[in-house]
Structure 1
Amino acid sequence: MEEKKKSDIAILLGYAGKYKILTFLGLALSGIAMFLGMLPYICIWLVARDLIAVAPNWTLATGVQKYGWMAFVFAVVGILVYFAALMCTHLAAFRTASNIRKQGMAHLMEAPLGFFDSNASGLLRNRLDGAASETETLLAHNLADIVGSIVMFVGMIVLMFVFDWRMGASCLLAAVVSVAAMFTMMGGKNAQLMHEYQAAQDYMSKAGTEYVRGIPVVKVFQQTVYSFKAFKDAIEDYSQKAEHYAIKVCRVPQSVNLTATEGAFIFLVPAAVLIAPGALKDGNFAGFVTNFAFYAVFSAIVSTALARIMFATNGIMLASSAIKRIDQVMGAPTLKVTDDPKEPKDNSIEFKDVSFTYEGADIPAIDHVSFRVEPGQTVALVGPSGGGKTTAASLIPRFWDATSGAVYVGGVDVREMDPHVLMDRIAFVFQNNRLFKASIFENVRAAKPGATREEVQTALDAAQCGDILAKLPNGMDTVIGTAGVYLSGGEQQRVALARAILKDAPIVILDEATAFADPENEALIQKAFATLTKGKTVIMIAHRLSTVVSTGKIIVLDEGKTVEEGSHETLKQKNGMYSHMWADYNQAVNWRISAGEAM
């Protein structure tokens, strides 16, 4: 039997844990507070009744003072109970939002690292942190207001038909018009517009984060903001959706809604005009005036109740959209962990008929690739862009898991190893390493949290970072990214190399590690490589073929397949893809701009 889908409220309360009881207590108190808030209106009517009954001898109305004090007490107690209700719902809401963030982060910690390559950090933060914040309004205010409004409406319906059903019906007519207007704005096909609006907001957040990260490129190349077309398009799309919903969808219904709720008294006047002659004829004009006074006072509650419902409904729509975004985070794939982990025998790496296809792609990025790297051997992966080099390397530390075939480390399928053991055996240096906004010391020690200052200094020296530390105001204690302290791409690579050297893992993966380095930095990085890779099993990915000439084995990948394998000299003589790549590389290296002949 198909499991019944949970409501959005049930899903949210599922995150509340033991604080769910506070939500229910807060809702109950809110209903009581709203009932108490209605009683002063009844007391006011009792005062008006007594005064009208003895008019014009007002002194004979002996119950006025008593009803006045009763109204005051009911109002104060109602406020205190409502305050207690909000205390409960707010505490539950804050804890629920905190639990959403914690559970979301815990789930993301179990996701494969490759997931974060295809999901921008700005988008994930907006989905998790922003969506969690939006649920606070629903749990802290909207649910309490909904319960209070239900109590108020039931009380209104009862009271409005107790004295004169005709005047009561005229007052409720305002509520009918208001509900119809709100449904026009938020119901039917317009409900989907809110989801589209939130999706546009998510995309704008993602594009904004990427734009901010790209500002250095804008400054370097003197480009305008319009060079970031995705960000501009995201802003325009969000603006169009917001404008469409606010003006074309909500303007007329909201005008009708506000007119009906704020002018509920207008519906009462025609009814009173029609009823008054009959009351005069029956000699019950005093009773008619008393009833009219009651409905005139009570009609003020209509606008309050409907306004609460409108804001509460909007909160439910926002929370529903927020839950969908939270589900997108909670639906991230998780790294499967075996219950019976195996220990690798050595530091060898082997691909056995490995294929891998990215989600949503039709063509495999890796297609039946097989090769072996012996312990202590250095193997280079080369080939044209998009050939599958980085994808192949990412399968070793389980950034992704192979679609078919298997990747082995030390003779053990990486999927049968403890992920922590696997990660401890591998050090990475990527082409776009990012450093934390922290000191050089803390950035390097991230690879080995228990390292001493001496060990960190030794790693920095081995990574040829002496000139970097010399120019920093506080040496290795200088915080990067503050007070104008920034490092070039090549300098960041050397600090990242120090991190890898400190980790001292037996397997090293170098992915275009010199891509952003100038010749001077590249020379220093190459010296650091000698320390980092000594006695290690190394997978090296490089476009600069000069860096792989001395490697023991070169594997050429093209369109996800292994097309050639061998040493530099062997591959040169085959007159295959590598030979052509080597010829093109040398031609590019030796290319010079010559002065043209004078005209």
Structure 2
Amino acid sequence: MKEKKKSDVAVLLDYAGNRKGLTFLGLFFSAVSMLLSMAPYICIWLAARDLIAAAPDWTLARGVTRYGWIAFAFAFAGIALYFAGLMCTHLAAFRTASNIRKQGVAHVMKAPLGYFDANASGLIRGRLDAAAADTETLLAHNLADIVGTIVLFLAMVILMFLFDWRMGLSCLLAAVISVISMFTMMGGKNAQLMAEYQAAQDRITKAGTEYVRGIPVVKIFQQTVYSFKAFQEAINDYSEKAEHYQADVCRVPQSVNLTFTEGAFVFLVPAALFLAPEALADGNLAGFITDFVFYAVFSAIISTALARIMFASSGIMLAGTALGRINKVMEAPVLKSPDNPKVPHGNKVEFQDVSFTYDGSETPALSHVSFTAEPGQTIALVGPSGGGKTTAASLIPRFWDASSGSVRVGGADVKEIDPHVLMDQVAFVFQSSRLFKASILENVRAARPDASRDEVRCALTAAQCQDIIEKLPYGMDTVIGTEGTYLSGGEQQRIALARAILKDAPVVVLDEATAFADPENEVLIQKAFAALTKGRTVIMIAHRLSTVVGADRIIVLDKGRVAGQGTHGELVAAGGLYARMWADYNKAVRWKISSEKEAK
């Protein structure tokens, strides 16, 4: 039997945990408070009835004061109960939003690191934060208003048909027109517009994050606004969708809705004029006037009730799309842990007929790649841009899992090694290293949280960071990114190398770690490499061929395939792709700008 799909609200309530019951208690309080809020209107009608019956001697209407106090008591009780209900729903909503954020972060922590290359951190954060905020509004306010208003509306319908069904029906015409108008705005094909609106909001969040991060580069290279084309396009798309929904979809239905709900009394007057002759003929003019006063008072509730339903319904729509954005985070691929994990022995790295294709791509990034890095060897991956170098290296620490074949570390397939154990086996340094907004000590200690200050200091020394530490106001306790304390790209790279040295992993993956370093920093980084790679198996991605001349083995990758492998001398002698790349490299090194005299 097919399992019944849960509603969006039910799914969200599951995140509330042990506070889920508070939501239902809050809804009950809200419903009761709405019933209590109707009592003052009934008291007004009773007071009007007694006054009309006693006219012209008003002193005979002695129950009016009592009705006033009863109305006050019911109004006060309704307000108190409503606030009690909101307290319950807010407590549950806060727990729900908190659990969404916690579970979302916990889930993405289990995702392979390659997932974050395809999904910007700003997008993930925007999805979780904004979506959690939207669900908070729904569960704290909208849901209570919906339940309370539905109860209020049903009770109001019953009362309206209790005295004179004809005047009651005339008042409800405004409600019918309002419901039709709201469905026109929010139902049918227009419901899809809200999903498109949220998608546009996601894009503007992602583009905005990249915009802020790109400002330093734009300043350095004196770029113009065209550098932010993606951000501008995201803003325009968001603006167009918001304007279209407001101007083209909502303008006419909302105008009709407000006109008739705010003027519900207009329907009551013709009905009263039609019924007045009958009341005069029956001699029941006082009763007729009393009923008319009752419906005149109650017609004012229609506008309030329907406005609440409209805003609460829009909250449900927002929550539905928000849940969809939450699910996108929760559906992130999880790095599977083996049921019977194997322990790697040694630091030998093997690629055995490895193929890999990125999601959404038809062309393999790697195709039947095989090579071996013996313990203590340095293996260099070279080749044209897009050849598969970074992809191959990323399969070792399981940024992604190979589509076929196997990547082995210490004789065990990386898929069969516990992810935590594998991370202890592999250290990696990328082209662009990211440091936390924390002290140098904590940035380096992130590799091994239990490391002592002396161990961190030794790692910094091995990474040639003495000059960095000496110039900082508080040494390695200086917090990066505060009070004007910033590091250059090369300095950040050396701190990242200290982190890798402290980790003391037997396998090291280097993705052209000197790519953005100035000559002075590059010399120091090369010295740090010597400390980092000593006695370890090293997989090095290189774009500058001068850095791999001394590698034990060079793997040439082109279009995802191995185009050659061997030592530098062997590959140059073979005259293949590597030999051509080496010739081009040497030509580029000798190139210089000559003066006009030298040209002549």
Write the letter of the residue equivalent to 1:125.
R
Give the partner amino acid of 1:271: A
The separation in 2 between residues aligned to 1:3 and 1:75, in whole angstroms, is 45
Distance between the aligned counterparts of 1:20 and 1:478, measured in 2? 45
Alignment of 1:155-554 (within 5 A): 155-554=155-554
Aligned to 1:147: 147
Aligned to 2:22: 22
1:169-227 CA distances to partner (integer Å, 9 max, x unpaired)?
A: 11111111111111111011111111100000000000000110000011111112331
Distance 1:542 1:486 in 2: 27
Q: Helix, strand or coil: the match of 2:515?
A: coil
Q: 2:99 aligns to what? A: 99
Partner of 1:555: 555
Q: Give, in whole Å, the separation in 2 of the partners of 1:434 and 1:78.
A: 55
Number of equivalent positions: 599
- Matching residue's letter, 2:514: T
After the TM superposition, which residues 576-595 of structure 1 pair with which residues of structure 2 at under 5 Å, given as runs? 576-595=576-595
What whole-Å deviation, never above 9, does each CA across 1:120-150 have from its counterpart, x for those lacking one?
0010011112101110111111111111111
How far 1:95 moved relative to its partner? 0.6
- Amino acid of the residue matched to residue 551 of structure 2? T
Question: 1:263: Cα distance to partner?
Answer: 1.4
| Counterpart-to-counterpart distance in 2, 1:137 and 1:208 | 24
Distance 1:289 1:305 in 2: 25
Instruction: Give the Cα–Cα distance (whole angstroms) in 2 for the partners of residues 584 and 56 of structure 1.
Output: 111
Question: Tell me, what secondary structure is at the counterpart of 2:514?
Answer: coil
Residue 271 of structure 1 and its aligned partner are, at CA, apart by: 1.1
Task: Write the distance in 1 (CA, Å) between the matches of 2:485 and 2:377.
Answer: 38
What's the secondary structure of 2:196's corresponding residue? helix
Structure 1 match to 2:75: 75
Residue 102 of structure 1, CA deviation = 1.2
Look up the match of 1:117: 117
Structure 1 residue 41 corresponds to structure 2 residue 41:
yes
Structure 1 counterpart of 2:119, one-letter code: N
Shift, 1:301, TM fit: 0.9
Distance 1:217 1:245 in 2: 37
1:470: Cα distance to partner?
A: 2.2
Aligned partner of residue 346 in structure 2, secondary structure: coil
Look up the SS of the partner of 1:510 in the other structure: strand
What SS class does the counterpart of residue 113 from structure 1 fall into?
Answer: coil
Q: Please give the secondary structure, in 2, of the residue aligned with 1:543.
A: coil
1:159 deviates by: 0.5
The CA distance in 2 between the partners of 1:175 and 1:19, in whole Å, is: 35
Which residue in 2 is equivalent to 1:566? 566
- C-alpha displacement of 1:475: 1.7
Letter in 2 for 1:59: T
Q: Deviations over 1:397-436 (max 9, x none)?
A: 1111000001100110111111111100111110011011
SS at match of 2:596: coil
Mapped to 2, the partners of 1:315 and 1:133 lie a distance apart of 11
* Alignment-mate amino acid for residue 93 of structure 1: A
Two-structure CA RMSD over aligned residues (Å)? 1.1
CA distance in 2: counterparts of 1:179 and 1:114, whole angstroms: 48
Greater mean deviation of Cα atoms: 161-170 or 2-11: 2-11
So what's the TM-score if we normalise by structure 1?
A: 0.99
- In structure 1, stretches of 5+ residues that fail to align are none
The C-alpha deviation readout for 1:271-326, integer Å capped at 9, x for no partner, is: 11111122122211111110010011111111111011001100000000000000
| SS state at 1:189 partner | helix
SS, match of residue 312 in structure 1? helix
Equivalent position amino acid for 1:38 in 2 = M
Opposite residue 110 of structure 1, the aligned amino acid is K
CA distance in 2 between counterparts of 1:158 and 1:437 reads 62
Gaps of 5+ in 2: none
- Identity over aligned pairs, percent: 74
